[in-house]
A and B are shown apart, each in its own frame.
Chain A
């Protein structure tokens, strides 16, 4: 049933206004020929040119991508396995497991960053790409697990027995039954993990080391010391990339389509 209501219209516009007005201002400013973007001083592409000519930006972007992709892949595997264990073996241990993963979603970033930093120092691990990677995997697993668990809710385990009954061995069952049915959930979880990793600032800030600066951390230092107008240009880029990623994630998790 569809209701028409003026109230819902107002709420929607209000939310959109709050969410996207800063983005609109930012996008306009990225073309503004003014150093601080307070008044409109004419159209320019200068900030975009600066962005592409800044080797530091490309370097930190590469760092972010390396960590984003590896953390995504590893958390996809570990998160899916965790989800499977929690869903399939409903033992007390798995209930505990489930709660641990849920709690992790609520732990403040600053706490996680600090505890991870202390941990890495105590085991004498040199801060750098590796520590950032471990930290990102840690918080990404929970999100992948949640998404895959949701997918498992309407997974009928008796079809695994049916496949076995029809002559399939475990490798065949995994390839022909489990992966095709769960891959939308696993991929959606992975995309979510990737977006979270790419724009993480707080945790990364704690565990980063020399030569391993990621893009968000670099943007922060640019804001403080450099040219904020280039930041606008970068942000527009990241915004568009995130928008595309979320769009695909949505498509994959849409459960109405089989």
Chain B
């Protein structure tokens, strides 16, 4: 495809006997922010290092802008990396750190000076240009690392968990700054993170990785709303899972399923799974309604009665855990309007849970090993 600017093609990599990357293929389009998202140890850094040339794949090719760069050494590739620990040169000033790439490439002094100036302005570090890395804060070092990489005008900027070492407040601010820098420079970003909210907020596309394979690639909304595997559903935010078989076809798109530990549920069956098929259903907590009175009964809406087990107040929203039979549902309620006359839901209250069939999502694949991800932390 014309749009496929950077292509990972059948990449595999072993460390000793451990298969760290297992036949991974995906394209990245020019100018986008593409995230590799997955739990720690799933092979994200290895994939990034393969792209940078710091690690050699056992199999497969890396193609950048139509050229096969698999065998290029790191200093011959038009990609640059922002390392997880920044890896700034401790004996060089901020300015010399940023100018390292251009000096090595032999640009003329005038061009180096003006480019360094431009990037110092971009990252708002002009007044610190003569300081050494140990005199800077974590966020400032982070920005130097980004400028030092970007000044070489790479075709792709690789970022390995660039925000992981920062505290929460700073992380959010740097995320916005990173987004601004991307808008101004327009370079393709390949962004590695284990933090789903980080990936959600900055990416045009996300590839969710698990144990050396890519489970799903899509826009943040696709990944969140339509996860294709139980791993993706569980890794990206909270979800409620049901396991059961299709028990009744109501019409061509609506079916009923019979979970093993829950009453029958009406689902949107756009995959036309026939009666008797084993299915897995995921419903996000914020798609569930919770009320103290029984809602209007529409035949297709799922309505269940349960008991409130736990309540956590989270400021802008409240999280409830409600048991129906033996199943613990998690529910998030936004505080869109604060009605004083509405009676608050309390611990041990009997409540009505309801949701629309199309808010549930039938999954293609369910791995037993993902069980541990599905246990909702309390």
Contact = CB atoms under 8 A, between A and B. Distances in A.
A159 interface: yes
Interface stretch (B61-69, B99-107, B360-368): B99-107
A169 B106 CA distance: 13
A167 B89 contact: no
Interface string A162-188: 111111110010001100110000000
A169 B75 contact: yes
A158 interface: yes
B88 interface: yes
Given A156-B85, A177-B89, A164 B132 contact: no
B54 A172 contact: no
B170 interface: no
B90 A181 contact: yes
Contacts of A177: 89
A258 B134 contact: yes
A163 B88 contact: no
Interface in B24-70: 52, 54
A164 B88 CA distance: 13
B134 A166 contact: no
B80 interface: yes
A41 to B, nearest CB: 57
A9 to B, nearest CB: 35
Contact of A167 (B83, B91, B105): B105
Interface in B343-365: none
Interface string B76-102: 000011010101111100000000110
B139 interface: no
A254 interface: no
Given A158-B87, A181-B91, A163 B134 contact: no
Given A167-B152, A169-B75, A162 B104 contact: no
Contacts of A161: 54, 74, 83, 87
Residue from the set A156, A158, A167, A258 with the largest chain B CB neighbour count within 10 Å? A167
A158 B87 CA distance: 6
B148 interface: yes
Nearest to B79: A165
Contacts of A156: 85, 87, 90
B148 A166 contact: yes
Interface residues of B, number: 23
A166 to B, nearest CB: 4
A163 B52 CA distance: 12
Contacts of A169: 75
B83 A162 contact: yes
A258 B90 contact: yes
A165 B54 contact: yes
Interface string A232-258: 000000000000000000000000001
A180 B100 CA distance: 14
A180 B89 CA distance: 11
B85 A166 contact: no
Max chain B C-beta neighbours (<10 A), residue from A158, A162, A168, A177: A162
A181 B74 CA distance: 22
B74 A164 contact: yes
A171 to B, nearest CB: 11
A167 B73 CA distance: 9
Nearest to B73: A164
Contact of A172 (B104, B132, B149): B104
B87 A159 contact: yes
Closest 8 pairs between A and B when the two form their complex, measured CB to CB:
A162-B87, A166-B101, A158-B87, A164-B74, A167-B75, A167-B104, A165-B81, A159-B87
15 contacts: A158-B85, A159-B89, A162-B88, A163-B89, A164-B74, A165-B52, A165-B75, A167-B104, A168-B100, A168-B104, A172-B104, A176-B100, A181-B91, A258-B91, A258-B134
Interface of A: 156, 158-159, 161-169, 172, 176-177, 180-181, 258
Interface of B: 52, 54, 73-75, 80-81, 83, 85, 87-91, 100-101, 104-105, 132, 134, 148-149, 152
Given A166-B75, A167-B152, 20 more contacts: A159-B87, A159-B88, A161-B54, A161-B74, A161-B87, A162-B81, A162-B83, A163-B100, A164-B74, A164-B75, A165-B52, A165-B81, A166-B152, A167-B105, A168-B75, A168-B100, A176-B100, A181-B91, A258-B132, A258-B134
